[in-house]
Structure 1
Amino acid sequence: MPGEESKRKLAVAGLTSILLVAAVIAVAVGSSKDGIDISTSGGGDADDGGTGGGGVTATKKAVQAICSPTAYKETCEESLADANTTDTKQLVEAAINATVANVGEALKNSTLLQEAARDPATKEAFKVCEDVLDRAAADLRRTVGKIAEFDFAKTDAFVADLRTWLSAVVTNQETCVDAFANTTGDTGEKMRKVLETATELASNGLAMVTELATVVSSFNLGSLGDLFGGSRRLLTGAEEDGDANFVSRRLAQESVAAAAPDIVVAQDGSGQFKTIGEAVAAVKSGAGNSTVIYVKAGVYNEYVSIPKGKNKVVMIGDGAEATKITGNKSIAGGVPTFYTATVDVNSEDFMAKDIGFENTAGPDGYQALALRVSGDRAIFYNVKVDGYQNSLCADVYRQFYRNCTIIGTIDFVFGDALTLFQNCTFIARKPGPNQECVVVAQGRNDSNSNSAFIIQNGHITAESTLLESQPPVRSYLGRPWKPYSRTIIMHTEIDNFIDPAGWSGWIGKVGLDTCYYGEYENTGPGSEMKNRVTWPGIRKITSEIAKTWTGSVMYASDAWITKSGVQYDPNLKEA
């Protein structure tokens, strides 16, 4: 067990690594460091002789140390090949200069753009790339900013933020490539090649952040603030901003009237607006307080997007069956999967309560989202998500669902967010001919990503049309959409329509060895474990492991949920 001084050195070394890599990968999607001033600690001059080997050796050792926990060490070291310093700030600058020329112009590649212009589907895929890579750039910039403001008293929340944002960077790069899946030609493969270095750099950054989390955990440091005399209490961004008027004060009461809506939407003209889109447009970007939009009962046939920057929007209906937003965009209709959602959420601290989201494209529409959630700290309470294939995309960041009903056919809950589904009902419905039913397809693509789907105290069941189908439709809990797919189901009732094998493969043996699937103390006839698949990725979940997948642990700081006023169980249900 190292001494206190060793702990301090490890902590500082880990933070220095994060600082470097955040800036290195900031150029991976063409973002700019202009205007961001980062202070550094330590380092010294390359020729100070303190390392015993002169400037070149000192720099090489510094670079090797920074790159050591990464999966793509060669890429990491090559990005710093021209460096001649051990000073952190200078290494950051060297990394940016070395990387910009290779990966900063991915979306300006003339050959790819020419090919896209000739094919509408490829052109739409490029739009997805522009969208998600812009999001990745923003996450990289705020990662750098977060590091500059680091407070030793808030280490756990600090690391959780960085891992969440960098996990999203990795996911968004993959989403860009996935957008070309239904296009003709080899443009998608070319885009993957163009982004190859960017992807490796992002993965390296995530590995370094994860390494810091491992150091903190393995040495029982708790919060690094303990080493520097700081407080162990973790503050959320809302607390730091002094936002005492966040959702909890507006939503703690059960009645809509008590929530004092700021905007009312009603089709009969009794509100300020007749459409939800108009109400969202009226929300000010960058508002410090929550904006409550009350949507009166009715079926709203429109597509609603909550854009980045319009944070702390609270959308309340008259009930998931009474207030419904509906659409029918689908990939079969020529729309990229990412843009088929009837409602998409891209802002932070969004909450929906007592409202329904629907996509009626049906099984012939193939991928057709009712709801896509691409914003951090999103909460859904008493909400219904109704669709067929890919009904709910829990895309990236941190999300919480309570008392929700989610209906669909194939992979009807998918994405790569760190998501807790608590007291939710998952209803499988009859798919198209020759199709199977799969409840979840979690898309973790990097072993260091913090993402997972956790189903706690839920119910997995099926509609009567599925149960009565002849021949029977094979139905599964989930399948590994990406190699490191991770899903844990605990204290959940599973009905007998689920195949005894429990889990289905994706393509060949992809993910069977590297996924993380577990079941813990579930009930119902579909929970029987004796005939489950025995892939290396199937894990035995003990009580201690199950506790690590409760909200109070998996989110590091769950104040964004506890302050919301919704029902929430932070810990494991006791027997």
Structure 2
Amino acid sequence: MSSAFGDFGPLTERRKAEKARQQKRRIMIAVGTVTIVAVLIVIGAAAIAYTGKSSSEGSHKPSKASPSKAKSGHSPSSDSESSDSSPSSDSSSSPSSSDDSKAPAAGGDLKAVSKSIKVMCSQTDYTDACEKSLGKAAAKNASAASPKDIVRTAVEVIGDAIGEAFGRADLILSNDPRVKAAVDDCKEIFGDAKDDLNRTVHGVDGGGFGKEDASYQLQIWLSAVIAHMETCIDGFPDDEFKAKVKDSFTSGKELTSNALALIEKGSSLLSVFKGSSKRRLLGNGGEEGSSSSGPKLDKDGIPVWVPEAERRVLKGGGFKNTLTPNVVVAKDGSGKFKTIGEALSAMPKVRKERYVIQVKEGVYEEYVTVTRAMANVTLLGEGSKKSIVTGKKSFADGVTTFKTATFTAQGDGFMAIGMGFQNTAGPEKHQAVALLVQSDKSIFLNCRMDAFQDTLYAHSKAQFYRNCVISGTVDFIFGDAAAVFQNCILVLRRPLDNQQNIATAQGRADAREATGFVFQKCEFQAETALRDAAKPPIRNYLGRPWRECSRILIMESEIPDFIDKAGYMPWQGDFGLKTLWYAEYANTGPGANTAGRVTWPGYKKVISKTDAAKFTVENFLHAQPWIDPTGTPVKYDLFT
């Protein structure tokens, strides 16, 4: 007769049972190991041509064996004058105690390492470059045979390739001031690229490989490395120098793409080995679900690394009443500093809490950079039309687009609340950036960005915009960030008579990048001057592909009738039309009808709710750990 207390039998019985369970566990581990070996053998034999993400997830991969196709040398620095033909990261998590990233029985043998490399490189888009670079490294260290070791090496070899490319750019000699300016930009950008590569290596070492959220962070950093390379190229005029610099970065971009593929594939493969049940990851082709790799939480459910000042922020707003400023900036002299730049310069280099700068009402004519060393800075304004930073640098005045920004945010965890950012150069000055953002896990709440061409340069990494107003004309939201714009208003202004308005120009250059622009619950509006421009008529578009794999989703938004029925316009010829990924979901308004939209292979028209859900704040940005502690109002899933 069975008893409810059967597990509490004599000690000897329990020991016997425990021995039996241990024996059973050993058998299961042995079977599991054999299974893993069998899986790897099958993968190697089949030489799987990994197709990356499905079309519904916005991925298209180039041919494996051939070098990168030459992409258009244009950037949002090109006018639209023709017709339609014209904080701490999750990577700091400790490695799994089971060490499931180790490859089976490599034994330090070079032949075994070569086989492992061949198997893993079969998952990349540039197989030859992968095998050659990793094989060369393996010849120096045959003991590094685990998937984790191979991924680490795949990231390290990028440094050599891009170091050589940036070095060549640095050696360019020219009397052309634009070329000189481009060379100077490349010197600065090389430092940014090295920093993001180092962070990626440390992330892999810290257990980032094979863990869902941490792997996403690695992908964000590597995507930024590609953005840095493209930015260096963009600065050069369309001449022989640009062609040479672009060619020199081919190897670096291919190796970065391969590293992205290995991290992406490694995450999903190890998830299968663990037997965990997970959801599909948005736009990355992996699996997502609740993972133990997330940040450690305290008793209040807040990540332990969040500064104390930020914990006091009330959810849903109330920022002015809950954030205590460290310093006050006031143009009238009533604060400690008269400029934002002075307040940043006085910021302690070592601090535990978020640095809050209160910016009193006033128009601040200054060019500000929150450097990479300045993490967790908050600008607390008194309103986007009251606390304003303004400048007027422009491409027409001989400045590279990258350096025209009035305000540049680089340090991780940057926040701006109730601030205005302007570039008043005017449409005749062409590219003139108001705000450039390279800050990872950055948040802009109740802010305003006003300019004409190239207003907001969402350059790279993860960014969130809530309740913001962004105005401009040509490509006025551009860059290669992973950015979600929620409850924002996009205002199209009157451009030059020979121009057309294009709201977005997203710059994802490689299908493996974890980047793209998502507009959720936004509204497109026309400035009065644009509405009154009956002659000549101004055509208005939602976007165009700046790079070959440009990715944009507009969902649950209001699209008015002044948006052209085609919706989107080409960049130049058929560039990117097959490899871009543009889609819409649950939009409203007279301009939301997709019947007259473009028929490009890359345009997906209206996607399903399941596919749209892959691009919410929660799924596309993995943002809850870094948005929640700030009290920023946010909708993590779909509104409809």
User: So what's the TM-score if we normalise by structure 1?
Assistant: 0.85
> Contact between 2:478 and 2:506, CA under 8 Å: does it hold in 1?
yes
Q: Following the alignment from structure 2 to structure 1, what is the Cα–Cα distance between the partners of residues 549 and 145?
A: 32
Correspondence for 1:507 among 539, 553, 572: 572
Corresponding residue for residue 123 of structure 2? 69
User: CA shift at 1:188, angstroms?
Assistant: 1.4
Corresponding residue for residue 142 of structure 1? 199
User: CA shift at 1:81, angstroms?
Assistant: 3.8
Correspondence for 2:165 among 106, 128, 149: 106
Q: Following the alignment from structure 1 to structure 2, what is the Cα–Cα distance between the partners of residues 93 and 551?
A: 29
Q: Deviations over 1:27-77 (max 9, x none)?
A: xxxxxxxxxxx99975699777xxxxxx55423312212311111111112
User: CA shift at 1:557, angstroms?
Assistant: 4.3
Q: Following the alignment from structure 2 to structure 1, what is the Cα–Cα distance between the partners of residues 581 and 102?
A: 39
Q: Secondary structure at the match of 2:630?
A: coil
Q: Following the alignment from structure 1 to structure 2, what is the Cα–Cα distance between the partners of residues 474 and 120?
A: 35
Letter in 2 for 1:199: K
Corresponding residue for residue 633 of structure 2? 567
Task: Name the % identity.
Answer: 37
User: CA shift at 1:8, angstroms?
Assistant: 9.2
User: CA shift at 1:221, angstroms?
Assistant: 4.1
Corresponding residue for residue 285 of structure 2? none
Q: Following the alignment from structure 1 to structure 2, what is the Cα–Cα distance between the partners of residues 527 and 146?
A: 42
Corresponding residue for residue 248 of structure 2? 194
Q: Secondary structure at the match of 1:269?
A: coil
CA 254–113 in structure 1, closer or farther in 2 if over 3 Å, else same: closer
Q: Following the alignment from structure 2 to structure 1, what is the Cα–Cα distance between the partners of residues 351 and 509?
A: 34
Q: Following the alignment from structure 1 to structure 2, what is the Cα–Cα distance between the partners of residues 281 and 476?
A: 41
Q: Following the alignment from structure 2 to structure 1, what is the Cα–Cα distance between the partners of residues 563 and 458?
A: 22
Corresponding residue for residue 522 of structure 2? 458
> Contact between 2:467 and 2:488, CA under 8 Å: does it hold in 1?
yes
Q: Following the alignment from structure 1 to structure 2, what is the Cα–Cα distance between the partners of residues 248 and 318?
A: 21
Correspondence for 2:375 among 294, 302, 311: 311
Q: Pick which of 337-346 and 514-523 moved more.
A: 514-523
Q: How many residue pairs end up in the alignment?
A: 533
Letter in 2 for 1:402: R
Matched, 1:271 2:335: yes
Corresponding residue for residue 345 of structure 2? 281
Letter in 2 for 1:346: Q
Corresponding residue for residue 443 of structure 1? 507
Letter in 1 for 2:615: W
Correspondence for 2:145 among 64, 88, 95: 88
User: CA shift at 1:471, angstroms?
Assistant: 2.0
User: CA shift at 1:287, angstroms?
Assistant: 3.0
Corresponding residue for residue 220 of structure 2? 164
Which of the two has higher C-alpha Rg? 2
Correspondence for 1:370 among 429, 434, 443: 434
CA 363–309 in structure 1, closer or farther in 2 if over 3 Å, else same: same
Q: Deviations over 1:111-137 (max 9, x none)?
A: x54543432211111122122221111
Q: Following the alignment from structure 2 to structure 1, what is the Cα–Cα distance between the partners of residues 587 and 154?
A: 49
Q: Secondary structure at the match of 1:315?
A: strand
Q: Following the alignment from structure 1 to structure 2, what is the Cα–Cα distance between the partners of residues 179 and 341?
A: 14
Higher RCO (C-alpha 8 Å, min separation 6) = 2
Q: Following the alignment from structure 1 to structure 2, what is the Cα–Cα distance between the partners of residues 97 and 494?
A: 45
Corresponding residue for residue 556 of structure 2? 491
Corresponding residue for residue 234 of structure 1? 294
Q: Deviations over 1:457-490 (max 9, x none)?
A: 1101111111121121010000111111111111
Letter in 1 for 2:163: G
Q: Secondary structure at the match of 2:118?
A: helix
> Contact between 1:287 and 1:310, CA under 8 Å: does it hold in 2?
no
> Contact between 2:420 and 2:447, CA under 8 Å: does it hold in 1?
yes
> Contact between 2:165 and 2:249, CA under 8 Å: does it hold in 1?
yes
Letter in 2 for 1:516: W
Q: Following the alignment from structure 1 to structure 2, what is the Cα–Cα distance between the partners of residues 240 and 424?
A: 28
Letter in 2 for 1:222: K
Q: Following the alignment from structure 1 to structure 2, what is the Cα–Cα distance between the partners of residues 534 and 307?
A: 43
Alignment of 1:519-530 (within 5 A): 519-530=584-595
> Contact between 1:236 and 1:559, CA under 8 Å: does it hold in 2?
no
> Contact between 1:262 and 1:293, CA under 8 Å: does it hold in 2?
yes
Q: Following the alignment from structure 1 to structure 2, what is the Cα–Cα distance between the partners of residues 344 and 257?
A: 27
Q: Following the alignment from structure 1 to structure 2, what is the Cα–Cα distance between the partners of residues 98 and 298?
A: 49
Q: Following the alignment from structure 1 to structure 2, what is the Cα–Cα distance between the partners of residues 216 and 501?
A: 43
Correspondence for 1:5 among 32, 47, 54: 32
Matched, 1:380 2:444: yes
User: CA shift at 1:216, angstroms?
Assistant: 6.1
Corresponding residue for residue 389 of structure 2? 325
User: So what's the TM-score if we normalise by structure 2?
Assistant: 0.77
Correspondence for 2:467 among 403, 415, 440: 403
Unaligned runs of 5+ in 2: 1-27, 41-93, 280-289
C-alpha RMSD of the superposition: 3.2
